[in-house]
Amino acid sequence: MTAVGTLALQGDFAAHRKRLAALGASAPEVRWPQQLEELDGLVIPGGESTTLLHLMDREPGWWPAVEAFHRRGGGIFGTCAGLILLARRVRHPEQRSLGLLDVDVDRNAYGRQVDSSEGFGRWADGRPLEMVFIRAPRITRVGDGVDVLAWHGDDPVLVAQGNLLAASFHPELTTDDSVHRLFLARLATPLADGASSVA
C-alpha cells in the first residue's frame, strides 16, 4: 500500500487524508520530521503559509527532512499554501520557501478570503477540471523543466516537475478525485525531471 502522509501542522489536511484513503492509500497525519522516512509521498496542504513556516521553524529538523525526502525521490504534492512553500520565489510579500519547484508565485493573487470562488478550469488536453480557490497564489513564472498540467483562464494552476506536483487551487474540496489519482499514479511510476502524466 502506498503511504502518503499529509503535513498536519495547520490547514485543511483532514480533507486530503480522506481523499487519499478513499483512493486506497495509507494516509497518516505527519507531525514530526522523522515520519517522512516511512512515506512514499507527502501532501503539504492549503492553509496560512506564514503560520506553517513558523510551525516548521519551531522544529528545526523540518527543512532538512523535507529536502532529504525530495532528494531520495519522495513525491511531494503542495496545494495553495503548499505551492507557496515549494516555489522557487515568493512575492507580495517576499517569503522564505523550500525552493524545490522552479516556479515563482504571488501570494493571495486571486483575492482575499471573501473572494474565494468555485468553478471549472481545464486540463492541458482541454477536459474540464473542478477548482476551488481560497486566497490562492498565482503562478507568475514557470521554469523550463516544469510542465503545466491544468489552466484557469490564462493562468497555469497545476504544475509538475519530477516528483513534485503543485496546485493553486484546492482539489481536496471538490468532488473530482482526478488530481489525487494523478499524484498516486506518479508515485507508482516515478518520472524524470520535467516529465509528466495526465490523469
Per annotation, catalytic residue among 70, 152, 172, 180 = 172
Reference 18, options 157, 8, 104, 66; nearest CA is 8
Per annotation, catalytic residue among 70, 80, 152, 180 = 80
Query: ω into residue 28 within 30 of 0, thus cis?
Result: no
Concerning whether 70 is annotated as a catalytic residue, the answer is no
Q: What is the phi/psi pair of residue 136, to 5°?
A: -80, 145
Concerning whether 172 is annotated as a catalytic residue, the answer is yes
Return the half-sphere exposure (C-beta side, CA atoms, 13 A cut-off) of residue 76. Answer: 26
Concerning whether 92 is annotated as a catalytic residue, the answer is no
Name the helix (H) or strand (E) containing 105.
strand 101-106
The contacts of residue 10 (CB under 8 Å, 6+ apart) are 47, 48, 51, 52, 55
Q: How far is CA 53 from the centre of its chain?
A: 15
Catalytic residue numbers? 80, 170, 172
